[in-house]
Amino acid sequence: MIVSAILAASLSVSLAATLVLKLSAALIDVSHVVHQSVTHAAHLSVSHAVHQNVTHVAHHNVIHVAHQNVIHVAHQNVTHVVHQNVTHAIHQSAIRATHVLLTAIRARLAHLDVAHVILAQAVAINAIMKG
């Protein structure tokens, strides 16, 4: 239950942060590619119709590739972060559980020590009574 909550929180935060970063990077890349395409077309003095076709195809291709890359990278990053967070949480939970178990064992041993002392005293008293 703790791991599920941590996993959900980590996934939400990591996914949001990663997607924002990747979308920002993709927008910068798209702007750069479109700018280069338009500038190159203008320098080559292509006709208006060819310019429109090149721009339309480049826009479609750039958007499609950028979208695919962002989704792939975001998935990889989120998977990696969630794996690290869950592994860390499980490790911390195991450490806490081990600490609780050791504390319980120490308490039980302390009770056994007290019981052993009481039993030794009872045996001694019994031996004295029997003479």
Furthest C-alpha separation in the chain? 124
Q: What is the spatial distance between Cα 18 and Cα 114, in angstroms, rounded to a whole number?
A: 58
pLDDT at 113: 75
Question: Would the pTM of this model clear 0.75, i.e. be above it?
Answer: no
List of residues 6+ apart from 74 with CB closer than 8 A: 15, 18, 19, 22
Question: What pLDDT is stored for residue 95 in this prediction?
Answer: 79
pLDDT at 119: 81
- The whole-number pLDDT of residue 118 equals 80
* Amino acid (1-letter code) at residue 93: S
> Mutual orientation of helices 2-43 and 48-130 as an angle, nearest 10°?
160
Give the tokens for residue 15. 């996914």
Query: How would you write the pLDDT of the chain (131 residues) with one tens digit per residue?
Result: 666 765 566 656 665 666 566 766 666 766 777 667 766 655 655 456 555 666 676 677 767 776 777 677 767 776 777 778 777 777 787 778 788 777 877 877 777 777 787 888 888 888 888 87
